[in-house]
A and B are shown apart, each in its own frame.
Chain A
Amino acid sequence: MISESLVDLSRLQFAITAMYHFLFVPLTLGLAFLLVIMESVYVITDKQIYKDMTRFWGKLFGINFALGVTTGLTLEFQFGTNWAYYSHYVGDVFGAPLAIEGMMAFFLESTFIGLFFFGWDRLSKQKHLLVTFLTAIGSNLSALWILVANGWMQNPVGAEFSYETMRMEMTSFAEMFFNPVAQVKFVHTVAAGYVTGSMFVLGISSYYLLKGRDLDFARRSFAIAAGFGLASILSVIVLGDESGYEIGDVQKTKLAAIEAEWETQAPPADFILFGIPNEDTMTTDYAVKIPYVLGLIATRSTDEEVIGIKDLMAQHEIRIRNGMNAYALLQTLRSGDFTEADKAAFEEVKVDLGYGLLLKRYTPNVVDASEEQIRQATLDTIPSVAPLFWSFRIMVACGFLMLFIFATSVYFCARRSALSNRWLLKMALWGIPLPWIAAETGWFVAEHGRQPWSIAEVLPTHLSTSSLASSDVWMSLIGFIIFYTVLLVVELYLMFHFARLGPSSLHTGRYAFEQKENNDVSTSDALLPRV
């Protein structure tokens, strides 16, 4: 049996490295398209200031991008290093979108980002814009493929278990690609990225406006970010991936947990705005409810029900018992000594094999599980409710706060009085962390809500790890924490340094700090001592 501490450490390491990676991804996704917009305006109007904008925001883009690449490498390695059984069990399906992501997206993004920074003097304006555009497309395509992969973890369609190879095998690439969960996730995630990029530019531009410097530069950046941000936050909210929660059993369970819906209500269900979920009594204390709203959001209807946690557990218990049967038949098939009837019987119940595997946590042989162990495994099928309930609400609150910020920004931009509203500018500046909080809590909901599965209904997380010593994972975990902390400090230092410096960092001679002191860094460079 796999030790609990190995599973916990592997999960912790994955959570830390993935969430850390996602500090950088959304900004890359969004800022890339803002650069495309700014540079397009430059190509159309031929106004130098838009080129300066592209180059300055591009500089900050580069600082962020470097860590995105660094931390992305970890994720490509980590399925193999720490989740070897997962890699064996689902690599046939899950590996394909990752490899295609490399060929279709990473190459595009990474090849052209070099030309974005180095090609300004070597390419015509139009060609450089094309390069910027291809970089942006590349980063967005990579989001597409990784979300196809992730969507498959939530709702594994287009694949079937094969007892001969002891793994999931792809049966339809199209079905996997057009997985509705993956598609809504993609739209939701990239739009959230656009929001992040917009909030970043809006907030930093507000800082220059508050300081009263580089006004022309800041005002134009502010206006572009406000417009793009409003459109994006509306997409995030309206096309929010709520619609993805009606598909597949695990998504339904996640929904019930997010809403702390213990009992199935008569449709349309009430929405719990606030309350304290109590896992022991399976009730939500002090609940503040809004009638009908949950039913409307989750099912887009007034007569379909949203199944509650208790009913889901009853269904899961049946499937676990079926899974024990599937596991017994699998053992027969693997032994090589079986009849056609065994094979047919296995085909009947193999959809529940994953539920049987949940018992492996308690008894290696599965088929001899006691009633108590079955009860335990059934309880495991529900992720812990309170963290999901709260994370989801934090995410939504951040979303609506940003909607307010972008909407007021656009309104005052349109009235040409954004500059004079110091409270608006301050709000935009202090609002910079909001998209990151929303993105991280959102991913927490998606991935913690998938527990106890790594692949929904197919492979439990606790079976997915590598056969490693806990001490090895301790070592790597500590290494990651130290390395990542140092990198984050360095990154934030540079980010703050250049954001404060503003477009003066381009050394064009046109911006605030350069007019005051003309003997700046460029001369001190030449004075640098020899190594």
Chain B
Amino acid sequence: MILDYETLKLVWWLLVGILLIGFVITDGFDMGACILLPFIGKDDEERRVIINTVGPHWDGNQVWFITAGGAIFAAWPAVYAAAFSGFYLAMLLVLFALFFRPVGFDYRSKITDLRWRTTWDWGLFISGTVPALVFGVAFGNLFLGVPFQHDEFLRPSYTGSFWQLLNPFALLTGVVSLSMLVMHGAVWLQLRAEEVIAERARLAAQISALILIITFSLAGLWIMLDINGYQIVSMPATDAMPNPLTKVVAMGENSWMTNYSLYPWMMSAPILGLIAAGFTLLLTKARRPGLGFVSSSLAMSGVILTAGFSLFPFVMPSSTQMNSSLTLWDASSSHLTLTVMFWAAVIFIPIILLYTVWTYRVMWGRVTLEQIRSNSHSVY
């Protein structure tokens, strides 16, 4: 074992972050495109253009999400258990929305009936909108603390309700997440869709980038002014056997800002989020969607890192029994599991990136109405 336990716990916090960033950069643009589908695709053929820009890639993209889920299961079983069961109805809402994706993409154009196709279009819209919103809402609730606790045998139980998740702050972070994915999807369509659609996407990208800048800043101000964070009063050594109940946690005024004064370099994350979102706005306006896509990816990375840095080392704070809060130090798997998983990630993630890039290269180019007409039976 080359890496010690403490380092591995930290590395896995980073790796989960990387998987989430991989998820929003890849799956984010197809979800964004699905959200925009009914609005900027004016007729069936235009909608087919939009769908076919993501057609070859949505399934591979979705695996970032699945793998992030699997990695949380393996690296932070306590988080997987507490979050998925605690957010039960919200998770099922996401799941049911995601059901529309594979069938929406694959079945929609197999039948020519217009009602059939329109139904699936709205199905695809739901499949993008609901997860984008719910993920944002879930992150917002992490900042407020989640009402859950562990019993002496570490069985987690959630004592809140579904509606409680939909509080004003969490709805705001829901909009952050939604506008972020819409922006990313719009830039993608500006890059890859027939000109007429690309022009409409250009406008959508600018609007959503602006909304992202506003809501992200508002969420930041809200946290600074009105939200008490959580802080660790005492805890066992960082390389101790993980047991969430062995630490003491208290609420603290402005605790979510502590890291930024301790480690000023962490400020780079929110700054990156804001500046890159601004650049996305300018680049799409200037009809430079290629660079716009890079900048939009950076903006989303900045937003996700901001959430991670602010909460660090918390992953899921508990509002009802604060000592039950889960941190990256005490929600982790064993040293051996983290090691095995680390090597799996080191080997496979570069390979995945290589062949993913290859498939994008093969499929590169604008999807045009003409292509849809002449390949009507082989494309989506």
Q: Do A and B come together as binding partners? A: yes
**Could you list which residues of chain A lie within 8 angstroms of chain B, going by C-beta atoms?**
55, 62-63, 65-67, 69-70, 73-74, 76-77, 79-82, 84-85, 87-88, 90-96, 98-104, 106-108, 110-115, 117-120, 122-123, 162, 164-167, 169-171, 173, 334, 466-468, 472, 475-476, 479, 483, 487, 490-491, 494, 497-498, 505-507, 521-522, 524-526, 528-531
Q: Which stretch, B201-209, B211-219, B272-280, B354-362, touches the partner chain A?
A: B354-362
Alpha-carbon distance between A96 and B345 when the two chains are bound, in angstroms: 11
Alpha-carbon distance between A120 and B377 when the two chains are bound, in angstroms: 13
18 contacting pairs across A/B (C-beta < 8 A): A77-B84, A79-B84, A81-B92, A87-B81, A88-B154, A96-B74, A98-B70, A106-B63, A106-B67, A107-B63, A112-B355, A173-B340, A522-B376, A522-B377, A524-B112, A528-B114, A531-B114, A531-B118
**Could you list which residues of chain B lie within 8 angstroms of chain A, going by C-beta atoms?**
42-44, 47, 55-60, 62-63, 66-67, 69-71, 73-75, 77-78, 80-85, 88-89, 91-92, 95-96, 98-99, 101-103, 105-107, 110-112, 114, 118, 152-158, 241-243, 333-334, 336-337, 340-341, 344-345, 348-349, 352, 355-356, 359, 362-363, 373, 376-379
Given A69-B59, A114-B59, are A483 and B99 also a contact pair (CB < 8 Å)?
A: yes
A70-B99, A472-B89, A490-B103 are known; give 4 further A-B pairs, CB within 8 A: A74-B95, A84-B155, A115-B362, A531-B44
- Expressed in whole angstroms, the minimum distance between the Cβ of B22 and any Cβ of chain A is 10
Chain A residues whose CB sits within 8 angstroms of the CB of B69 once the complex forms: 76-77, 80, 102
Tell me the dominant secondary structure on chain B's binding face: helix
Alpha-carbon distance between A498 and B109 when the two chains are bound, in angstroms: 13
Q: How many A-B residue pairs have CB under 8 A?
A: 264
Would you call B96 and A110 a contact (CB within 8 A)? no
- Expressed in whole angstroms, the minimum distance between the Cβ of A469 and any Cβ of chain B is 9
Would you call A81 and B106 a contact (CB within 8 A)? no
* Partner pick for A66 among B88, B106, B111, CB 8 A cutoff: B106
Chain A residues whose CB sits within 8 angstroms of the CB of B78 once the complex forms: 88, 91
Alpha-carbon distance between A524 and B111 when the two chains are bound, in angstroms: 11
Would you call B376 and A111 a contact (CB within 8 A)? no
Identify the interface centre among B58, B95, B111, B241: most chain A CB within 10 Å of its CB.
B95
Would you call A91 and B112 a contact (CB within 8 A)? no
Would you call B340 and A170 a contact (CB within 8 A)? yes
Alpha-carbon distance between A101 and B74 when the two chains are bound, in angstroms: 11
Given A77-B84, A170-B334, are A506 and B105 also a contact pair (CB < 8 Å)?
A: no
Would you call B73 and A98 a contact (CB within 8 A)? yes
Would you call B85 and A80 a contact (CB within 8 A)? yes
Alpha-carbon distance between A85 and B89 when the two chains are bound, in angstroms: 18
Chain B residues whose CB sits within 8 angstroms of the CB of A106 once the complex forms: 63, 66-67
Of all A-B residue pairs in the complex, the 8 with the closest CB atoms, nearest first, are: A91-B77, A80-B84, A95-B74, A102-B67, A114-B56, A111-B60, A467-B157, A466-B85
Would you call B348 and A103 a contact (CB within 8 A)? yes
Would you call A107 and B99 a contact (CB within 8 A)? no
Alpha-carbon distance between A524 and B63 when the two chains are bound, in angstroms: 36
* Partner pick for B352 among A70, A107, A169, CB 8 A cutoff: A107
Closest B residue, CB atoms, query A469: B88
Given A101-B70, A122-B363, A479-B92, are A166 and B157 also a contact pair (CB < 8 Å)?
A: no
